[in-house]
Amino acid sequence: MKKKIALVTGGFTGESVISLKSAAVVEKTIDRDRYDVYKIFVYPGDWHFVCASGEKIPVDLNDFSITIGDEKVKFDGVFNILHGSPGEDGKLAGYFDMLGIPYTTCDQLTSAITMNKGYTKAIVQDIPELNVARSIQLFENVVENASKIADSLTLPLFIKPNNGGSSIGMSKVKTWEELPEALGKAFAEDAQVLVEEFVSGREFSIGIFKGKGQITVLPATEIVSSKEFFDYEAKYVPGVCEEITPGRMTEEEVERVGRIVTKVYEKLNCKGAVRIDYFLQNETGKFYFIEINTVPGQTETSLISQQVKATGKSIKEFYTELIEEMFS
């Protein structure tokens, strides 16, 4: 019997657009000889499946099932590709936990913590060889913030929503005059904002996943952006940045990065595939942790997809390993 897999997409934030693109790739790539796939759209007050006929069928939230004609379809597992809330912040994970349905991504607690950049840094900062930029976490947009930041940090600074994704609401601030506008932009996206010192270095993003019971570190991608930093435009507009996979690192750097990110994966109790962004500082080569993404994009050009292909593994095989791991 083929297992029934719910491919969960959509979401409650601006990232739903990326989620739909990721889901389209997963849907056409997943091994149909092994799995029956049902794409479930999750929007505020509107969870549904669309039949081949175009009929929209609501999801029964009591048991996360759908009824097509006379057949009630219950799912063996969930392939979660819902970026942002509620797929990446632990809300969906908690719901599936209560129903006893396995899913491909991190558990409720890990998802909630890693959505918060400040809390994540506090947990990983004592991992050997890992550094974090000095930062301040702000909980409200008040006038006193400017002096608090000036007393603790030095320019240039990165201002970013603490819980946001896809680099929406991020700014780089080089003068104190630019600070109020940058804070306003970030607070427009989130109730918490992270202000951190700028680290001058080469930027990389690396995928790690657990499959067949083993943690695998994928080849890192080096990001060379024509923009000042890897913002929304650099991520999603073709030609704005160059992505080199595998990234240009020495053997020592590859080994050290692999060691560090494996420790991050283990310490945060990650599941499935995650992506960790980091800098190698220009002057010292030190590893600086930026953030972790627990529902990384799966579009044709996504970093994880590039990295999996660089190992010689097909994306279909990769998805099968993620699905089988959640059942193990």
What pLDDT is recorded for position 117?
86
> Is 200 an active-site residue?
no
User: Closest Cα partner for 121 from 113, 109, 112, 110?
Assistant: 113
Q: What is the pLDDT along the chain (328 residues), one digit of tens a residue?
A: 899 999 999 999 888 999 999 999 999 999 999 999 999 999 999 999 999 899 999 999 999 999 999 999 999 999 999 999 999 999 999 999 999 999 999 999 999 999 988 899 999 999 999 999 999 999 999 989 999 999 999 999 999 888 755 467 889 999 999 999 999 999 998 888 999 999 999 999 999 999 999 999 999 999 997 766 555 454 556 567 899 999 999 999 999 999 999 999 999 999 999 999 999 999 999 999 999 999 999 988 899 999 999 999 999 999 999 999 999 9
What pLDDT is recorded for position 166?
46
Q: Is 62 labeled as ligand-binding?
A: no
Of 302, 305, 321, 325, which one is the catalytic site residue?
A: 302
Name the CATH architecture for the domain at 113-131+200-326: 2-Layer Sandwich (3.30)
Looking at CATH, the fold of the domain delimited by 134-197 is given as Dna Ligase; domain 1 (3.30.1490)
Handedness of CA 315, 124, 173, 223 (dihedral sign): negative
Claim: this prediction has a pTM higher than 0.95: no
Structure tokens at 98: 């209560």
What pLDDT is recorded for position 57?
98
Domain 3-103 bears CATH identifier 3.40.50.20: yes
**Domain parsing of the chain, residue ranges:** 3-103, 113-131+200-326, 134-197
> Is 166 an active-site residue?
yes
> Is 15 an active-site residue?
yes
Q: Is 293 labeled as ligand-binding?
A: yes
Of 85, 166, 171, 205, which one is the catalytic site residue?
A: 166
Q: Is 291 labeled as ligand-binding?
A: yes
